[in-house]
Amino acid sequence: MLLSLLVHHREQLRPLLPEDALTRRLDALCQLRRKSVDQRTQLSNRLRAALKGYFPQALELVGETLHSPLALDFLQRWPDLIGLKAARPATIKAFYHRHNVRRPEAVAERLQRSKTAVALTTDEVIVALGRREVARLVELLALLQKHIRQDEKLIREALAEHPEAELFGDLPGAGPMLAPRLVVAFGTDRSRYPSAGALQRYSGVAPVKEKSGGRVWVHWRWNAPRFLRQTLIEWAGQTVLYCDWARAYYEQQKKRGQRH
């Protein structure tokens, strides 16, 4: 296939020009952050599974986001139900206040849950191992959160220096994390993608149609740069929230029976 391209389609081949150093740095930082976010998701799922095994009430008391400062601090202080029940209500209330949970109804509800909670198991082996695993995961998540915040700071600084920052920052739904990824996705070389279709095909979001006899099916391109494709798909999702045209088109497709 490579020989055929060289022999028969040489005129369509163009030299690949590397992006400038600032764009490549921004790209590397965005990808590094994304890998850390994926690791955070894996660790959060493991933490949720560990808590379900011996202390499921914690999932109601810390909220959905297990990598939040509130959740990590809570589990460091009260890694099991016995320790939580031994705490004075005023201590628990002060803890929530420090983490900006100040609505009286919300605090009262959590205090009541803590008071009436019944242990899932009293098996000392299960509880001890659960505490050890939770302590390890909480420590890893706290460290990962620290590095993600540092990555985000470096990304903001690199984006502020980039000449395309204003252009892509003004796009609907392009927030602090998607704007730099869009800068990287399109790059600074405007000749790299001669048409919108060229970028769609390269990124893998363009549909691929296959035929075999009377059967036709459509799928996306399997071998594609995943991070780039992920960037475009996530941005498309955000435009539905911030762009009237995108929202109208989305609702139109939903009414036609299309999935999200």
Residues 6+ apart with CB under 8 A from 220: 204, 205, 206, 207, 208, 229
Nearest to 144 by CA among 59, 28, 44, 234: 44
Contact 183, 168 (CB under 8 A): yes
Residue appearing with tokens 């790059």: 187
What are the phi and psi torsion angles at 173 (to 5°)? 85, 0
- Asked if the model's pLDDT at residue 222 lies above 90, the reply is no
- Dump pLDDT digits (tens) for 49-89: 999 999 999 999 999 999 999 999 999 999 999 999 999 99
How far apart CA 93 and CA 185 sit, in angstroms, is 47
Contact 145, 67 (CB under 8 A): yes
Mean pLDDT (whole number) for 168-179? 93
- Dump pLDDT digits (tens) for 133-170: 999 999 999 999 999 999 999 999 999 999 999 999 99
Contact 182, 174 (CB under 8 A): yes
Nearest to 101 by CA among 137, 139, 65: 65
How far apart CA 65 and CA 40 sit, in angstroms, is 11
Domains, the chain, ranges and CATH? Answer: 21-161 (1.10.287.4070), 163-255 (no CATH)
- What's the confidence (pLDDT) of residue 220? 84
First to last CA, the chain: 37
Split at pLDDT 50, 70, 90, the class of 19 is very high
* Residues belonging to the chain: 260
Q: If you average pLDDT over every residue of the chain, what do you get?
A: 94
How far apart CA 236 and CA 258 sit, in angstroms, is 15
Residues 6+ apart with CB under 8 A from 5: 13
- Asked if the model's pLDDT at residue 15 lies above 90, the reply is no
User: In the chain, what percentage of residues exceed pLDDT 90?
Assistant: 89
Torsion of CA 139, 142, 145, 150, to 10 degrees: -100
How far apart CA 45 and CA 214 sit, in angstroms, is 44
Q: Is the C-alpha dihedral spanning 67, 81, 54, 108 positive or negative?
A: negative
